[in-house]
Chains A and B, each alone.
Chain A
Amino acid sequence: MSYLVCVLLFGLMVGSVGVASNPSPYFAAMGLVMVSGVGCGVLICFGGSFLPLVFFLIYLGGMMVVFAFSAALSAEPYPYGWGNRSVKMYVAAYVLGVGCAWKVLLGKWSGFWGGILDESGELLVLRGDMMGVAAMHDVGGWMLVLGGLGLLLTLFVVLELVRGVSRGGLRTV
């Protein structure tokens, strides 16, 4: 089980290097999808059930979809993948940096590897992270209201940024 977590953490590293080396946004979005999928796997290995689900639905299903079709704004005839020479230089630099950092800082790690097992030791329907999110609805109701008002404000910000015709964000169109 701990080998599975090691494989998933390695997948996180590979995906982040793939995004950070700045290929064309088509490929970077694919790297981000892989990173979020593997990140959900890591959270599941540590006993989370609701948070990975929320992550898949909202982040992958909401935000990544919008990024994917916005990648059409950066269309070019020959997009730079990870095999391109300039992108490969960045990938090599990041892999070297991450490898050196891991070698130096992780030479001997402390004993607490992290509980792969659940703390309850029995079958539960309502897991810990779901109870935490329920607490947000119960005790943290005002924070939810603030978040909702912030999202509504962002809607108007986005509408004003994209509007043209002399009163919006675009002055020349």
Chain B
Amino acid sequence: MTPIQMTFSTMFLLGLMGLTFHRTHLLSALLCLETLMLSLFLATSLWALQLSTINIACVPMLLLAFSACEASSGLALVVATAGTHGSDHMQNLNLLQC
């Protein structure tokens, strides 16, 4: 595997693991989600640049637009959590716990 492919694949896996093994804050889990999006942006941009398929350069732009949608929805959820529970700690989200 080339170092560049290894880098963005490892970035994706690191973001996924950071999202899975979340600790305290909902916002830091959202930041790991942003790392996932960043690695996908890098991967698609490097695809367009290295293989000279320049029509694929529209994919990172659209990915950025939809990632902005997702980030804003996640932040709205953080605001809602801070409004009802007083903080965005993950252990407060336990209504469905038996």
Name A19's contact: one of B2, B10, B35 (CB within 8 Å): B35
Chain B residue, CB-CB nearest to A59: B64
Residues 130-166 of chain A: 1 if any B CB is under 8 Å from the residue's CB, otherwise 0?
1111011000100100010011001001100110100
* B interface majority secondary structure: helix
Name, among B6, B28, B76, the residue most crowded by chain A CB atoms within 10 Å (CB to CB): B28
Tell me whether B93 is interfacial, beta carbon within 8 Å: no
Name A73's contact: one of B46, B52, B62, B78 (CB within 8 Å): B78
Tell me the minimal C-beta distance from A22 to chain B in angstroms. 4
Chain A residue, CB-CB nearest to B50: A114
Q: How many residues of A contact B (CB 8 A)?
A: 78
Residues 52-90 of chain A: 1 if any B CB is under 8 Å from the residue's CB, otherwise 0?
001100110011001100110110000010000010001
A-B pairs with beta carbons under 8 A, tally = 227
Q: Is the CB of A51 within 8 A of B45?
A: yes
Task: Give the distance in Å from the alpha carbon of A58 to the alpha carbon of B17 in the complex.
Answer: 26
Task: Give the distance in Å from the alpha carbon of A114 to the alpha carbon of B49 in the complex.
Answer: 10
Q: Is the CB of A22 within 8 A of B28?
A: yes
Tell me whether A170 is interfacial, beta carbon within 8 Å: yes
Q: Is the CB of A162 within 8 A of B76?
A: yes
Q: Is the CB of A36 within 8 A of B38?
A: yes
Q: Which residues of B contact A50 (CB under 8 A)?
A: 57
Q: Is the CB of B54 within 8 A of A157?
A: no
Name B61's contact: one of A39, A46, A110, A136 (CB within 8 Å): A136
Q: Is the CB of A169 within 8 A of B80?
A: yes
Name, among A17, A21, A29, the residue most crowded by chain B CB atoms within 10 Å (CB to CB): A21
Q: Which residues of B contact A124 (CB under 8 A)?
A: none
Task: Give the distance in Å from the alpha carbon of A16 to the alpha carbon of B10 in the complex.
Answer: 9
Q: Which residues of B contact A136 (CB under 8 A)?
A: 57-58, 61-62
Residues 1-25 of chain B: 1 if any A CB is under 8 Å from the residue's CB, otherwise 0?
1111011101100110110011111
Knowing that A105-B1, A161-B80 touch, tell me 12 more A-B residue pairs with CB under 8 angstroms: A5-B4, A20-B14, A22-B32, A39-B42, A51-B60, A63-B71, A66-B71, A94-B14, A106-B1, A150-B65, A151-B69, A161-B77
